[in-house]
Structure 1
Amino acid sequence: MGIFDALNTAVGGLQAQSFALQNISGNIANASTVGYKGIGTSFEDLVPDSTTPNKQVAGGVTAFAQQTITTQGTVSSSTVATNMAINGDGFFSVQKPTSITDNQPVFSGTTDYTRRGDFQVNSNGNLVNGAGYYLMGVTVDPTTGNPTGNVPQVLQFQNNFIPAQATTAVQYAANLPTQPKTAASTSAATGTITAAGGLNPADFSSNPLAIGTTSYLDNTTTGTPVNNKLGAAITSATLLSGAAGTDSIGTDFAAGDTITVDGQTITFMASGASGNNQINVTDSVGTLLGKIGAITGVTPTISSTGAITLHTGTSQSLSASSSNTTAFSALGLTSGLSQTRTPSSGNGAVVANDMTAFTNESISGGAVTAYNAAGTPINLQLRWVKTDSASLGGAHQDTWNLFYQTSTTASGGQTAWVNAGTNFTFASDGSLSSPTGSALTIPNVSVDNLSLGNLTINISSGALTQFASTSGAATINQIQQNGFAAGQLQSVAINNSGIVVGTFSNGQNIDLAQVTLSHFNGTNYLKALDGGAYQATTESGAAIIGASGTISGSSLEGSNTDIADEFTKLIVTQQAYSANTKVITTANSMVQDLLNVLR
């Protein structure tokens, strides 16, 4: 009976090779199918019964399918924002509707699994892949960004609406120039806060500095008119005892005489004077006034009548005396004079009448569109003023105030800008030394009668600095607020974290859902369904939510079929099939020979 067994075995071989050919054909056909996992063929020999090993004969063969689900396909980029691919282990959870009722899908509740990620949004707002499977995930709280549950549901994004959110905080980062180039600074007297790019409260009808801040207005002392002469300004007058038509100090002061201003002594020298604390007796009155100005911060002036005006300048008070009272009197000044600067308390506001001075003595701090509780857009304008400068010497330090515009239509004595109420001081290295916290709260912010309430200005560490700038303007590195108007969903996209992000008509990008991944202990034992989906089996085990793989947005995983490898298998299968047919031909010939013997 060996010949007939050979025939049966050869037929089994043909069936097994046919099964392998069918798998090869399917793999090649699906070489371009998204997420397709090729099916290999596993051959198993069938051993006939035998009483002893030496009587054992070769058996038949059968073929089984061998899944390659765990083999990764090539991931390529896609122009569709809702396409995604899985790198590594994991499956998308999906459901396929059993029917459509009133244009809405009806699901059986059975969850399937796939790696086919060519999802797109349909008319109902569902994410559906090319095989008709609906994506599942968990929704995300748009405010906190946290998942609202842990059980995946079929996702739907249709007519999503977000209410308006009032602005409560502004994230701010900027560099303020060491020397602001304001309109007023170019024409201001040397040594004044205005010349240093700052704001002089004396130029305002009401002091705009922060409430509780005391500043000192510049006071002056004017001497009696005498023959003082500064350069060629007075051509017919004489200067003290100097010759007519000259501006030399002459013989009134002698070498060794002194003038003391605010505790600093200027000594007269016969010649060779140097620095701000020495002057030659042959120098001009202009030179002397320059030396005094270097001390007070404001250079004294001479009127057309020859009267000298001294300024309290950057000090709270002015004092001046001389060891030569006669010569000092000849300047029209009284030795031992003193003058105290007038204190002025800040009211924290700029009225409309002072707008010109405010604009000329401040720099822009940027602007941002904020929103009130109703979602009304509000243009929040900011400006910086320098209220003190380390360049003035002594105890002075670089100090700034921040203002916001409260009214664009203010007039007369109405408030146009409001001081945020904080003194921002900077160290010599440009770092912010005060305030030390990261947040500043401005109470009761209102712009053109639209209320924003309490507004927090968040300034992270190192975000606000004062470094030299050739432009003399503030460099705004960041100015962002957290409010927005109401909005309607316009489109969705999936990022690399597997988050479905919605883009709304108000320009906001809000997290809407989290795509969940699942894995199996026996992945290659899943049952394949149409459309690249799989069903859990006893051998695969139940789905386990969570996977080690990661999601790539705007990407697709291709088929894991290797065409070259499949062609190689095709050749081997063809040869094996032909060989089995040869066995059948040979066995048939042998049977015919046997029948011929009987005849």
Structure 2
Amino acid sequence: MGIFGALNNAVSGLQSQAYALEQISGNIANSQTVGYKRAETSFADMVADAAPQRQVPGGVTASTRATNDVQGSVQRSDVETFMAIQGDGYFVVAQQIGEVDNRPVFDDTDAYTRRGDFEIDRSGYLVNGAGYFLQGLPIDPTTGNPQGSAPETVQIQSDFLAALPTTQIDYRVNLARFPLTADADVDVPGSELLDPTDFTNDPTVVPATATDGFIQAADVPVFLQNTVAGGATTVFDESGAPVNIQFRWAKTASVGNGDPADQWQLYYLSDSTATGTDPAWRSTETTYTFATDGTMTAPTTDPVVNFQINGSTLNSVRMRHDSDGVTQFSDPSGNAQLTSLSQNGYAAGELIGVSISEAGRVVAAYSNGQVVDIAEVAIATFNGDSQLRKTEGGGFLATRESGDPILVDASDVVGSALEMSNVDISNEFTKLIVTQQAYSASTRIVSVSDEMMQEVLGMVR
């Protein structure tokens, strides 16, 4: 081959270095592209088939080497729907191929990307800067766990969050063994008790009847003097309307007064505008009984109460005390000391924001203070992720060589953050200098080969 072989080798060198230059220029151009993975150039020599003693260095060929497994720097962001993956994996995304009735239509083939600058579009979809739509696993509102195994395009509805009527009140309290009511006297046994004879009707009857088991409005001053405050909370009816509920405790029996056991009843304000004989306070219709060591012996299950409060009705509300939630230990304050008073209802709420949680979930926040998990971000890994096929906008498609996607949990997702390009400008310029010198050297070989050819042709003359 001789001179012609040298020319061919030089030309292959020029082509390969030009290919490398193209890669470098693309990397530098995308040095600020979110989630961009730089492309490296791999060179391979080409050796002609010959006996070992006759083999000579051949030409060179260039190919692309992916850097998908090289993490770019993760930077914080003020946009709550931006996200980055700290480690391996790709966001599973969908590509829009058209619209029907102003709604996007998606390609059946999933794409993958590291570009996490997702924002909500007019239809409630999370779309990144390259036009890819985020996919995730819907969250079961009952269990709080992801549903199914096939990612779906995430869409946040702007509808109001429906109200949840109160069905449970968590109530834990210690009742002083001797309540210091206004009429109580530590030197007079029984003075701390609610005496039915002080009232027009009997407020201690359980269960309540049409005439007993409540406090008439006219007897409220006496009732307040012989009971202790039990706290207050806001509950919600079926429409989500807030209802304030106030509690008071009355001790109705005492061992010190000759009764078999210490007993209490819990009352609530039923009608704040009641007058005369109208019921103002009602009993929860449960007698709380305590042993001498202060532990509760009855009821053995959490009471269920039908509340009637200022015209609102809340049926079948569970008063959750658990086995040790209500006690009667000695307390010099003589009050009911609350340790927990909360409920599970809420009003209807308007969507006010969307963010990414620490668990890698898309979370919707509402004006009523509720936070609802919408979907878990779908993250896929590949056994051969360097063999993924690049598409525009920082997207990738699975290939036979990359293998099928493997869905993993979203624990590596970081909200309010972006992974930047993994391009190092200084490194790219260093490669640029080396590439330029190699290209120049190849052109020199072409020049020398040409001169040698001219010498050969000169021999004819």
Cα distance in 2, alignment partners of residues 498 and 29 from structure 1:
31
Q: Separation in 1 of the partners of 2:79 and 2:338?
A: 35
Indicate conservation of the 8 Å contact 1:88/1:549, yes or no: no
| Structure 2 alignment gaps of length 5 or more | none
CA deviation vs aligned residue, 1:104-159 (integer Å, no higher than 9, x gap)? 32333332111222111111111111111112234344455455554333232234
Kept after mapping to 1: 8 A contact 2:359/2:411: no
Quick one: structure 1 residues 412 and 548, their matched pair in 2 at CA, closer, same or farther if it must change by over 3 Å? closer
Amino acid at match of 1:518: A
Q: How has the CA–CA distance of structure 1 residues 548 and 371 changed in structure 2, closer, same or farther, with 3 Å as cutoff?
A: closer
Q: 1:126 to 1:55 in 2, by over 3 A?
A: same
The equivalences for 1:394-413 within 5 A come to: 399-413=263-277
Q: Which secondary structure does the structure 2 equivalent of 1:422 belong to?
A: strand
Q: Is the 8 A contact 2:93 2:133 kept in 1?
A: yes
Q: Aligned residue for 2:419? A: 557
Aligned partner of 1:509: which letter? V
Q: Which residue of 1 aligns with 2:33?
A: 33
Partners of 1:89 and 1:548 within 8 A in 2: no
Q: Hey, what does 1:123 align to over in structure 2?
A: 122
Task: Give a deviation string over 1:537-580, Cα, whole Å, max 9, x none.
Answer: 12122334445863333333333334454444444434433433
Please, what is the CA RMSD of the aligned residues? Answer: 3.4
Q: Per-residue deviation at 1:63?
A: 1.2
- Please say if 1:521 is aligned against 2:383: yes
Distance 1:549 1:189 in 2: 60
Identical positions, percent? 45
Alignment of 1:42 with 2:42, yes or no, is yes
Pairs within 5 Å for 1:557-576: 557-576=419-438
- One of 478, 485, 508 as aligned partner of 2:370: 508
Contact 2:27–2:38 (Cα < 8 Å) also in 1: yes
The reply to whether residue 587 of structure 1 matches residue 449 of structure 2 is yes
Alpha-carbon distance in structure 2 between the residues aligned to 1:466 and 1:554? 49
Structure 2 counterpart of 1:208: 203
> Counterpart amino acid of 1:406?
S
- Tell me: CA distance 1:522–1:383, structure 2 relative to 1, closer, same or farther (3 Å): same
User: What does residue 381 of structure 1 align with?
Assistant: 246
Gaps of 5+ in 1: 214-345
Q: Could you say what secondary structure the match of 1:96 adopts?
A: strand
1:92 aligns with 2:91: yes
The CA deviation at 1:518 is 2.6
Structure 1 pair 393–410 and aligned structure 2 pair: CA distance change class (3 A):
closer
The 2-side partners of 1:31 and 1:45 are apart by 30
In 2, the alpha carbon distance for the partners of 1:461 and 1:555 equals 46
The residue type equivalent to 2:304 in the other structure is: T
Contact conserved, 1:519 with 1:547, CA < 8 A, in 2? no
Find the counterpart in structure 2 of residue 364 from structure 1: 229
User: CA separation of 1:18/1:388 partners in 2, compared to 1, >3 Å: closer, same or farther?
Assistant: farther
Q: Cα distance 1:362–1:154, how it changes in 2: closer, same or farther (>3 A)?
A: same
Counterparts of 1:203 and 1:403, CA distance in 2: 17
Q: Does the Cα contact within 8 Å between 1:204 and 1:354 map onto a contact in 2? A: yes
For residue 356 of structure 2, what is the aligned residue in structure 1? Answer: 494
TM-score, normalized by length of structure 1?
Answer: 0.67
Shift of 1:97: 1.6
Q: CA deviation at 1:455?
A: 1.0
Q: Which amino acid aligns with 1:587?
A: S
**How far off is 1:46 after superposition?**
0.9
How far does residue 527 in structure 1 lie from its aligned partner after superposition? 0.6
Shift of 1:56: 0.5
For residues 154-212 of structure 1, the C-alpha deviation after alignment (integer angstroms, 9 at most, x for no partner) is 23223434443322112233454566554444xx35244546xx645554444433628
Given the superposition, is the C-alpha separation of residues 146 and 4 from structure 1 closer, same or farther in structure 2, using an over 3 Å criterion? same
The offset of 1:465, in angstroms, is 5.0
Task: Name the SS of the counterpart of 2:9 in structure 1.
Answer: helix
Q: Which moved more, 1:534-543 or 1:173-182?
A: 173-182
Change (3 A) 1:521 1:183: same
Matched, 1:418 2:418: no
2:67 is the counterpart of 1:68: yes
- The aligned counterpart of 2:317 is 455
Alpha-carbon separation, structure 1, partners of 2:326 and 2:422: 54
Q: Which amino acid aligns with 1:20?
A: A
Higher alpha-carbon Rg: 1
Asked if structure 1 preserves the Cα contact closer than 8 Å seen for 2:378 and 2:410, the reply is: no
The 2-side partners of 1:458 and 1:471 are apart by: 25
Q: Is the 8 A contact 1:87 1:549 kept in 2?
A: no
CA distance in 1 between partners of 2:352 and 2:269 (Å): 34
Alignment of 1:71-470 (within 5 A): 71-100=70-99, 102-145=101-144, 147=146, 149-177=148-176, 180=179, 182-185=181-184, 188=185, 190-194=187-191, 199-201=194-196, 203-209=198-204, 211=206, 347-387=212-252, 392=256, 399-424=263-288, 432=296, 434-437=298-301, 439-442=302-305, 444-460=306-322, 462-465=324-327
